[in-house]
Amino acid sequence: MAQQGVLLDQDQFCCSVCLDLLKEPVTTGCGHSYCRSCIEGCWDQDDQRGIYSCPQCRQTFTPRPALRKNGMLAEVVEKLKKTGPQAAPPVLCYAGPGDVACDFCTGTRKQKSLMSCLVCLVSYCETHLQPHYDIPGLKKHTLVKATAQLQEKICSHHDKLMEVYCRTDQKCICVLCMDEHKGHDTLSVAAERTAKQVKLDQPVGESLINI
């Protein structure tokens, strides 16, 4: 009976990055655990910024924290490997031509992104998107349909989403750029998108960042 209970709970001991049972598990300062190679791979990509974050809760760390092996988790995972058949792995939907690849997936093949976050400026597959539905702080973030080149939608001067459209200059700007466009004909990007779609007799519903 005890063995059956462990089998049912084995998904709790999977790495949220590679989606497999933890290998050499380490725990971050916020309490989440990952394979050592997975979290180090994520943080290697953050070396330029010098700010390191947890892939699940997005808590940041500076400087890069030292990782220590979680001995208890390592023992549990080793027992799980010996208890019998593993649960079937989740069905993966890999990104193909024209798809937006998940920024958090590691390895040569990445899963297809479902949504992009306008706060994190990152695109997520179904698995890595889940914290945005579960964690209170992340629930406040703005999610839109997965879009490529998300950084190009951000104002290079103020690092904010360009959600205002200036008809006078025919360009998208952020709210902090408004001082430079006083007296111009401005409206929200969403309103301008709708107006253009009406003119072209196109259905409304595309993401506001696709204008």
**Domain holding 23: CATH number?**
3.30.40.10
Q: How confident is the model at residue 208 (pLDDT cuts 50, 70, 90)?
A: very low
Q: Do 83 and 108 lie in a common domain?
A: no
Q: Look at residue 175 and give its three-state secondary structure.
A: helix
Same domain as 130, residue 82: no
Determine the residue type at 143: L
Which amino acid is located at 130 in the chain?
Q
Quote the pLDDT of residue 185: 93
Q: Which residues on neighbouring strands pair with residue 187, listed in sequence order?
A: 165
Does 158 map to a domain? no
Task: Round the CA-based radius of gyration of the chain to a whole number and report it.
Answer: 21
Residues 170 and 206 in one domain: yes
Q: Does 124 reside within a domain? A: yes
Whether residue 159 lies inside any domain: the answer is: no
Domain membership of residue 108 (yes or no) is yes
Which residue range forms the structural domain that includes residue 148?
91-153
**How much is the pLDDT for 152?**
78
Give the SS3 label for residue 96: coil
Sheet with 143-145, strands from edge to edge, namely: 122-124, 115-117, 143-145
Q: What's the structural domain count of the chain?
A: 3
Pair (51, 111) in one structural domain: no
Same domain flag for 133 and 147: yes
Q: Which of 73, 90, 107 marks a domain boundary?
A: 90
Q: What is the pLDDT of residues 147-177, one digit of tens each?
A: 877 777 778 888 777 889 999 999 999 889 9
Residues 6+ apart with CB under 8 A from 114: 124, 125, 126, 129, 146
Do residues 37 and 54 both lie within one domain? yes
Indicate if 9 and 58 belong to the same structural domain: yes
What is the distance between the alpha carbons of residues 37 and 67, in angstroms, rounded to a whole number? 11
**Phi and psi dihedrals of 14, rounded to 5?**
-100, 145
pLDDT tens digits for range 46-102? 888 888 888 888 888 888 888 888 888 888 877 777 665 454 455 568 887 888 889
The reply to whether the predicted model has a pTM over 0.75 is: no
Q: Are residues 120 and 173 in the same domain?
A: no
What's the CATH code of the domain at 136? 4.10.830
DSSP 88-132: PPPPP-B--TTSPBPSS--SSS-BBP-EEETTTTEEE-HHHHTHH
Instruction: Say if residue 7 is in the same domain as residue 82.
Output: yes
Same domain, 1 and 80: yes
Domain co-membership, 69 together with 98: no
What digits encode the pLDDT tens for the residues 24-38?
888 888 888 888 888
- Indicate whether 13 and 65 sit together in one domain: yes
What is the C-alpha to C-alpha distance for residues 125 and 94, in angstroms, rounded to an integer? 9
Q: Other CB atoms closer than 10 Å to residue 3's CB: what's the count?
A: 12
Cα dihedral value 146, 96, 86, 20, nearest 10 = -60
